[in-house]
Structure 1
Amino acid sequence: MDTREKILQAAAQMLAEDMTVKLSVRAVAARAGVSTGSLRFHFPTQRALQDSVLARIYEHLLPGDPIRDRTLPPRERLLNCLRQVLAPLGTDQDARTAWGTIYRSFIEPEPTEPVRAAYLAHQREAERLVEHWLTVLAEEGALPPGDHTRNVRFLLTVLNGLSVERALPTGASVLIAETETLNAAVDHVLSAGPAPTAGPTRP
């Protein structure tokens, strides 16, 4: 195993034990059994390390890249990407366990700087993932080119809401209602496109 891989594995283990852990250079280097200089060589900043390890975790949880499966139309591919994010949560007890972990990590504790930084790192990686989907669709002409920030935030809000719904004791079939919501969200994004770029103001 090369040094970079050792560092990523050590950092991933630390995050698995505590989602709000501060991935300090000294702590991660000690866990990986490498020098701090070696760690800095591969990851010059703490944010570079944190973003890299979260990207690795997302790749592990969400293998493959359904957005590039051109055997399906763009609408079905975007739907599959959204479903792939929700699938690891499971339903009922699994979903409650997952949300319990999130609550204990980011909602229950005081919003200290380490807690805030840990949450924002997860949020950045989620935004990067959805931005990637929309950029691929824009490159293919399924979406107009432009700023996708609005649609990224919209889709993440939908995913967050649906993940909470999976953990709640609802009476109806959660997955049927979820499918309807995902279809509506994808239809909205593909019809609305990105936010228009602001032009020069007239006097």
Structure 2
Amino acid sequence: MKNFNITKTEILSDNWYVLKKITYEYQEKNGTVQTQSREAYDRGNGATILLYNKDSQTVILTRQFRIPTYVNGNDDGMMIEACAGLLDQDNPEDCIRRETEEETGYKIRDVKKVFEAYMSPGSVTEILYFFVAEYSKEMKVSDGGGLEEEAENIEVLEYQFSDALKMIKTGEIKDAKTIMLLQYLKIEGILD
């Protein structure tokens, strides 16, 4: 036996995405086998991007309502975030190009994948692919805001990079993927 063996999988919900209860046997280092159960939420994989402009020292972010943050005490449920979306059947680069245009209105040329990460591996299956790309005013092809049929109601925001970094400290930006991308730009000196 490998160190674990799935013995049972139950679907608890498939209303929006899929929530499964997985029972498995896990062999400890001393050889003892334990039976454990955990829930895993499968929403598919995603991609996120931070657009930046070297000349103006700005970044493009979005703001939208997120019900989980509201029920967890975020006053109005509004979150400032980097553009992101689910892969659906696309590869990560095609996905992020599509999402960037839908959400921000920018048709970007060159994207750079910088890393990938599990955001909540204790309960969510999603792996997120992180990208950065340079933008300019000439790349703006629409107002953005997301697709009407998805009722995203996304507000497109442009911030000075230095202000966006300060917003992490003040708590105005609490989204992990956004914090990671802003810190990536800072660590790599991309806007220095």
TM-score, normalised to structure 1, is: 0.23
Q: In proportion to residue count, which structure has more strand?
A: 2
Q: In proportion to residue count, which structure has more helix?
A: 1
